């Protein structure tokens, strides 16, 4: 007889998992009239509210490595990356659909831990699990579809204009450094254990800026916005392309860096370019006219999130980093491309 603690998905079964999941879910409330248990969910948003929908797939070996990513961290992050997409358009999250491709060898306790973390994250952001699907596969694949409400006109990638300021929430480069520490390609001993733990946590448990995104959308002060998943430079390239091929100048001295990231920078173990192109910061990158600076400062105070002016939009295509009186072109530094990269 198999010990319950080491049971696999093959022994638990699809319907056993679904029955156990339903027992964990609260009764549907608010706009969600019917959730898990029927052939479809029944969601009735208030008349006049627009609906925003975003989806992400996470594939083992491409988006995450189970050798250093726990079930709990993956459960949290799989929802967080979708919440960040919704935040980038100023949406308020409402309900989520979770589909899983699960290897038969996967241990039941792993999946239970994953679901517990996923539901805890959903509860934190007032998101209800409304449905999904489960299939067997050779490798672990997660698909998350998040629906939310547009309480104000959604912010888009297009809209930046020449002369606009470029802002970034939080700090940049932490997730990149955290990943390098998790992979063992950076010497952790050069920073304190607290700093190393902070960086790793920034990679494994990014904080989606949901409340900030909603405030920015409602302010009417932002001309364009998106979240930083591919790195500041990669995502800024997306924003500039959407604006019709404009350019940008970034100031190295203005880049918001954590105390931990600055430690590696000062030890010459990383540089500004790496911190700007590493990816998975899940901060908000946006533009606003110079006349909106006081309003942006007030928004930062209200949201208790730092908003740093890191550069400006220019008329000539290309991104340039200004540092110590020199200008470095970052044009070739694009975002992550699934068909040009292999593995995580």
Span(s) in the chain for CATH 3.30.1330.10: 10-150
Structure tokens at 344: 């995580």
Please state the pTM of the whole predicted model. 0.90
d(CA 329, CA 271): 14
Over its length of 344 residues, how does the chain's per-residue pLDDT go in tens digits?
345 556 887 778 766 776 777 777 778 888 888 887 777 888 889 877 899 999 999 999 999 999 999 999 999 999 999 999 999 999 999 999 999 999 999 999 999 999 999 999 999 999 999 999 999 999 999 999 999 999 999 999 999 999 999 999 999 999 999 999 999 999 888 888 999 999 999 999 999 999 999 999 999 999 999 999 999 999 999 999 999 999 999 999 999 999 999 999 999 999 999 999 999 999 999 999 999 999 999 999 999 999 999 999 999 999 999 998 899 999 655 554 443 444 55
Span(s) in the chain for CATH 3.90.650.10: 165-329
Q: What is the pLDDT of residue 97?
A: 97
Query: Angle 232-167-55 (CA atoms, 0-180°, nearest 5)?
Result: 55
DSSP code for 6:
G
Topology of the domain comprising 10-150: 60s Ribosomal Protein L30; Chain: A; (3.30.1330)
Superfamily per CATH, domain 165-329: PurM-like C-terminal domain (3.90.650.10)
| DSSP code string of 132-192 | EEEEE-SS-EEEEEEEEEESSPPP-S----TT-EEEEES-SSHHHHHHHHHHT-S-GGGS-
Q: What is the pLDDT of residue 1?
A: 36
Q: What is the pLDDT of residue 215?
A: 97
d(CA 123, CA 186): 35
Q: What is the pLDDT of residue 206?
A: 96
């Amino acid at each position: 007889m198999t010990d319950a603690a080491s049971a696999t998905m093959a022994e638990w079964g699809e319907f056993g998992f679904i029955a156990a999941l339903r027992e964990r879910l609260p009764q549907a409330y608010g706009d969600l009239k019917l959730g898990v248990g029927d052939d479809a969910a029944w969601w009735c948003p208030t008349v006049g509210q627009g609906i925003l929908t975003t989806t992400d797939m996470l594939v083992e070996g491409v988006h995450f490595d189970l050798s250093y990513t726990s079930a709990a961290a993956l459960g949290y992050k799989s929802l967080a990356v979708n919440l960040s997409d919704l935040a980038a358009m100023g949406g308020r999250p409402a309900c989520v659909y979770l589909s899983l491709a699960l290897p038969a060898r996967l241990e039941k306790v792993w999946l239970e831990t994953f679901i517990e973390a996923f539901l805890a994250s959903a509860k934190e952001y007032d998101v209800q699990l409304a449905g999904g699907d489960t299939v067997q596969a050779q490798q672990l694949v997660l698909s998350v579809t998040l629906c939310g409400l547009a309480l104000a006109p959604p912010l888009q990638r297009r809209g930046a204009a020449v002369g606009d300021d470029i802002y970034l929430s939080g700090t940049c480069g932490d997730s990149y450094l955290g990943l390098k520490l998790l992979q063992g390609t950076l010497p952790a001993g050069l920073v304190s254990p607290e700093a190393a733990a902070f960086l790793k946590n920034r990679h494994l448990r990014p904080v989606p800026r949901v409340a900030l995104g909603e405030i920015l959308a409602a302010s009417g002060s932002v001309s364009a916005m998106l979240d930083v998943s591919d790195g500041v430079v990669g995502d800024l390239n997306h924003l500039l392309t959407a604006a019709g091929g404009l350019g940008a100048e970034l100031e190295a001295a203005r880049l918001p860096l954590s105390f931990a990231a600055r430690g590696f920078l000062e030890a010459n173990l990383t540089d500004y370019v790496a911190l700007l192109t590493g990816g998975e910061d899940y901060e908000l990158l946006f533009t606003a006219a110079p006349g909106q600076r006081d309003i942006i400062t007030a928004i930062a105070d209200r949201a208790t999130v730092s908003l740093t002016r890191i550069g400006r939009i220019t008329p000539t295509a290309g991104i340039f980093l200004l540092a110590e009186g020199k200008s470095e072109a970052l044009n070739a530094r694009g975002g992550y491309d699934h068909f040009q990269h292999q593995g995580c």
